[in-house]
């Protein structure tokens, strides 16, 4: 029988499965370029660009995310309790204390970022600090530390880069097809079916990539809920925090689509409808609360 804690291994396997499929799609796009333009070096160039973007994301993902969220270091005396909670839970989790940041925003939210446990950061909004009790704050921080401990903060960053690369490559490919180019003569005539399939793949790639990104993000949240509850030994703390977060139905003041999936809750606020649910970066909060309280 699946429980809050046995979901961890399942979510990790599914996450790597989705990542593998995503990389196959990325390689396929590069191959489509090289085939249609009859130039194998395009595939090599495409691979080099992907590697450069991933390396850049690896080293600077935390700075980019924090800057995008307008986060500032939580160094003032008013943040002593926040730093104490982060430090105590980090010790319990066996992690180095991450850098702590605050976002001046009334919406209750938080996120973790960084390339690994030694180079990680946790950011919380002022709205979260004003709204949560100590046990609720502990639940949220434990959730974010779990993202760090589970090594999925880097995975999420890589996915963002790959989705962006697919979108850029697709636009470039479609524009180049509009202005001609590609194979010539009989070889082009014989490759008509392949070109049609390649164009269809290019058009659908960004949509498929986004869906994969969101699916990984949702599974990350379930995994972090499970690990966070295990860390505090008090699932009700996080469940109660999520209830308060859900009750605040306004978006953050400066949400960014690029980092939306990093937050504990959708920074754009609640969305309704079956179609919009497909593109939500987070699983339904009610479902997360129910799973947590099953273990309380």
Look at residue 190 in the predicted model and tell me its pLDDT: 45
pLDDT in tens, 200-226: 666 666 666 666 666 666 778 888 898
Note the pLDDT of residue 185: 46
Tell me 262's DSSP state: G
Residues of the chain falling short of pLDDT 50: 1-7, 11, 184-186, 188, 190, 272-275
pLDDT of residue 4: 44
Residue-level pLDDT at 295: 77
The pLDDT score that the predictor gives to residue 222 is: 87
Phi/psi for 203 (5° steps) reads: -65, -40
The tokens of 290 are what? Answer: 């129910």
- Structure-token pair, residue 295: 């273990």
Long-range contacts, stretch 93-98, CB < 8 angstroms, 24+ apart: 93/142, 93/145, 93/146, 93/149, 93/231, 94/149, 95/120, 95/145, 95/148, 95/149, 96/120, 98/122, 98/145, 98/148
pLDDT value at position 1? 40
Q: Could you give the 3-state DSSP secondary structure of residue 163?
A: helix
Q: Is 144 a catalytic residue?
A: yes
Per-residue pLDDT, 242? 96
Domains of the chain: which residue ranges? 7-64+156-215, 69-152+229-294
Verdict on whether the full-model pTM lies above 0.85: no
The residue from 81, 144, 243, 294 that is catalytic is 144
Quote the pLDDT of residue 211: 67
Q: In CATH, which superfamily holds the domain spanning 69-152+229-294?
A: Metalloproteases ("zincins"), catalytic domain (3.30.2010.10)
Return d(Cα 208, Cα 214) in angstroms, integer.
Answer: 10
């Amino acid at each position: 029988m699946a429980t809050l804690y046995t979901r961890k291994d399942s979510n990790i396997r599914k996450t790597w499965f989705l990542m593998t499929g995503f990389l196959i799609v990325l390689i396929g796009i590069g191959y489509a370029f090289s085939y249609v333009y009859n130039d194998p070096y395009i595939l090599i160039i495409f691979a080099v660009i992907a590697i450069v973007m991933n390396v850049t994301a690896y080293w600077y993902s935390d700075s980019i995310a924090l800057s995008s969220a307008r986060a500032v270091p939580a160094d003032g005396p008013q943040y002593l309790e926040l730093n104490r909670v982060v430090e105590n839970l980090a010790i319990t989790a066996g992690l180095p204390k991450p850098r702590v940041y605050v976002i001046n925003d009334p919406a209750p939210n938080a996120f973790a970022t960084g390339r690994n446990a030694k180079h990680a950061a946790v950011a919380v909004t002022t709205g979260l600090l004003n709204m949560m009790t100590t046990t609720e704050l502990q639940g949220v921080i434990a959730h974010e530390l779990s993202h760090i401990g589970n090594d999925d903060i880097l995975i999420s960053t890589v996915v963002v880069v790959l989705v962006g690369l697919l979108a850029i490559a697709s636009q470039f490919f479609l524009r180049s097809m509009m202005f001609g180019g590609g194979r010539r003569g009989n070889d082009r005539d014989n490759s008509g079916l392949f070109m049609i399939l390649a164009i269809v793949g290019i058009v659908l790639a960004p949509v498929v990539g986004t869906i994969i990104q969101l699916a990984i993000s949702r599974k990350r949240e379930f995994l972090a809920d499970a690990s966070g509850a295990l860390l505090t030994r008090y699932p009700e703390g996080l469940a109660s925090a999520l209830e308060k977060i859900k009750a605040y139905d306004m978006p953050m003041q400066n949400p960014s689509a690029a980092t939306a999936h990093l937050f504990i809750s959708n920074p754009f606020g609640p969305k309704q409808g079956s179609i919009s649910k497909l593109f939500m970066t987070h699983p339904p909060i009610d479902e997360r609360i129910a799973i947590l309280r099953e273990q309380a």
